[in-house]
Amino acid sequence: MMRRACQGIVFGAVFTALIAGCSAISQSPSVPPRHPEELAGWTQVDCRECHSDISTGALKPYASFRHSTAFVRHHGLYARQGQNLCQSCHGPSFCQGCHARKEELKPDTRMGDRPDLALPHRGDYIVQHQLDGRMDPGSCFRCHGNKNDARCRACHR
């Protein structure tokens, strides 16, 4: 463990220098670590209210990140090409509220005051998952395939 940690730190230091070297040449600014202005409201996010151009960090139009139903359902496709733009508004607690490794409280229980959010597993999902899981087990697998499965194992032994 210690040997691996040391290797990681050395490797990290070398690569950080490399990153700085490569990126310093580039003129395109990175995504700011935090959105520079306060965002009004919280029920609907549409970057297009202020941005009409391309994000210099994500290198995609801000319009792509409008939080429409399609975006919310398929945000993982975007996130797998980079998390920086997400991180300027959402901290780890936001993502890991659902994408956890050992979560006990369902997101809709924690956020019972936010019915406007598209949270997974609303209602009595112990019952409902029998239908959803039979039809499309891949939708369960992404989060429960080899993590966050304590509740699964209570019945699936």
Partner 1 sequence: MGLSRSRNCPGKRTTLCCAAALLLLAALFPSELRAADITLSSKTYLLYYKRDLPGSSTQQFAPLYEYLSADAGQLGGTPFSFHFYGWGRQDLQDATGSGKTSGELGSAYLQYLHPTGNGEMRLGRFFLTEGAAFEIMDGIFLKARTPVGLGLSVFGGVPAEATITSTKTGDSIYGGRVFFAKPGFTELGVSYLIEKGKFQGEDRKEIGGDLWLRPFGPVELIGRATYNDATRALAYQRYLLRLAPASGVDLSVGYEAYKYKDYFQTTLNPAFQFPTIDNTDRVRTVFAVLDWEVVKSVTATLGAKSIKHDTAAVGDATRGELGVKYVYNNNRDAAGVSAATVSADKDRNAYQEYRGYATYSPAKWRFALDALTQQYKQAISGVKNAYHVVGSAGYRLFEVLRLSGDLTYTKSPQFDKDYAGLVRASLFFGSGTGGKK
3-state SS record for 102-135: CCCCCHHHHCCCCCCCCCCCCCCHHHHHHHHHHH
We find the least distance from the C-beta atom of residue 120 to partner 1, in angstroms, to be: 13
In the window 9-38, what residues touch partner 1 (CB under 8 A)?
9, 11-12, 15-16, 18-20, 22-31, 33-38
Task: Answer yes or no whether residue 52 interacts with partner 1 by CB under 8 A.
Answer: no
Compute, in degrees rounded to 10, the torsion defined by CA atoms 28, 29, 31, 32.
Answer: -170
Please tell me the distance from the alpha carbon of residue 77 to that of residue 125, in angstroms, as a whole number.
25
In the window 118-157, what residues touch partner 1 (CB under 8 A)?
122-124, 126-128, 130-131, 133-138, 140-142, 144-154, 156-157
In the window 72-111, what residues touch partner 1 (CB under 8 A)?
73-74, 76-84, 88-96, 99-105, 108-110
